[in-house]
Amino acid sequence: MRIGLIITVSFILISCSDRERANPFDPENPDTKGAPTGVSVISNYDTVTVRWNAIDVDDFSYYQIYRSISKDTMDGYDSTETNIFIDTGINFDSCYCYSLQANTKHDKGTISDSVCIVPGPVNFWIADFYDFSLWRISYDGAHILGSAYFTSPIAVESDPQRNQFWVADYWGERLYAVDKNLTVSSTTINLDAPPADMAVNSTDGEIYVLLRQENLLKTYFTSGLEKESISLPFDVSFYTSVAYDSIGENIWISNEETDTIFQYPLIQPDSAFTSYSGFENPGKIYADPITGGCWSVSDYGIIRIHSADSTDTYKSDYCIKDISINPINGDCYYTGYEKGTGNWETGRLVSSQNFYHEEVVLGNDYPNLNRIQVVPGDGNQGFIVVQLYTWRILRFDTGGSLIGELGPFNGRLDFALE
């Protein structure tokens, strides 16, 4: 009898203790600490959405929303009875932080830890070739807005006229149209070989694709129909890059195996390629959105080819890993390392001063940055970069301060702006 009584009492004490911890408003609760859990935040242009796990208690009343702007005091801001809060009319480039407190008819819970975000006018798209994934990333580079999976997404390009994005799938040998919810549309273009790169002419509804194995430049309408096929005077490699020049109506192609950049004029049917040679391992190529022509990276600086057939080289003592052209003012942002010292540098060449004035934004304290995408706008702008070996996305503001990061991602990444 005594043994049975002792066992029964012990069981009751343990059960009461477990019930007490199960109260989500209990500050000693190991799961909730008395506050809402699962709090997350995303932004889409001038709207911020905060979500959290609902608290299930009989006398629940409402959630109190606390908000601060640019790290000021966290004040009571609004309330809601659901586990989602949408904040509209947000100012760009300010840091918004949110905390939550659950309230019952008789009690107040603990205020949650804050979640923060910097909203802005654009979002980033990232194609991750080796992770088989496509990502839609918030303006501050710290939050995932959505993701989708493909066989091997080697390139992603914006098509603003149709409010969609195009994804080139290397091993799948296809082009996919994707909307902002990352839903694949019915328009799928089947290719005859793996695509190495592509460029989109959104105004005319055309896509230019480099095909490996067949060494072709093919043009497709965004409806899916093939327009033309052009044989290339070189072998297309895994790293051959293409860009569409809307000012000069040219296709530009860089080929590292021949140290050459090729120009093909779209306005002259059956025209020949013009070649510009003597560059050291030209890589990713970009069209100049202001004056026409193209820009390319190389192992000995930044290459600029004008529409008038003249060529300039900047930062010739640097191995340049990537560049990005601001479409609003034409500034050229770059990242690379000095060949003599091995020190890394990220900066911009200022268009209004003929690109011979440079401003260094990041030094060797941020090494191994091999991709860059500038945020469009007037004057100095922020940017997003990829860091080798950590494989993290780093987002810097106009002053070079880190405002967000994500990762890890994998090796070959391609960027697009929404």
Residue from 311, 302, 354, 363 nearest 333 by CA: 302
pLDDT at position 5: 43
Q: Under CATH, what is the fold of the domain 124-417?
A: Methylamine Dehydrogenase; Chain H (2.130.10)
User: What are the counts of helices (DSSP H) followed by strands (DSSP E) for the chain?
Assistant: 1, 35
Contact (Cβ atoms closer than 8 angstroms) between residue 96 and residue 66: no
Q: What is the CATH number of domain 40-117?
A: 2.60.40.10
Whole-structure pTM value: 0.89
Beta bridge partners of 347: 334, 360
Residue from 136, 101, 114 nearest 41 by CA: 114
Q: Which residues of the chain have pLDDT under 50?
A: 1-19
Domain spans, the chain: 40-117, 124-417
Write the pLDDT tens digit of every residue in 148-168.
999 999 999 999 999 999 999
Tell me the C-alpha distance between 202 and 222, whole Å: 9
DSSP assignment of 149-192 equals E-S-EEEEEEEGGGTEEEEEETTTTEEEEE-TT--EEEEEEE-S
Tokens read off for 51: 């979500």
> What sign for the dihedral angle of Cα 202, 291, 314, 250?
positive
Strand residues in 9-46 grouped as ranges (E):
40-44
Within a 10 A sphere around the Cβ of 371, how many other Cβ atoms? 21
State phi, psi for 177 to the nearest 5 degrees: -95, 130
pLDDT at position 7: 41
Tell me the C-alpha distance between 275 and 243, whole Å: 15
pLDDT at position 66: 97
pLDDT at position 309: 74
pLDDT at position 72: 79
Q: How far lies 251's CA from each of 262, 378, 418, in Å?
A: 8, 27, 23
Burial class (CB in 10 A: 0-12, 13-18, 19+), 379: exposed
Tokens read off for 311: 């060529």
Within a 10 A sphere around the Cβ of 168, how many other Cβ atoms? 29
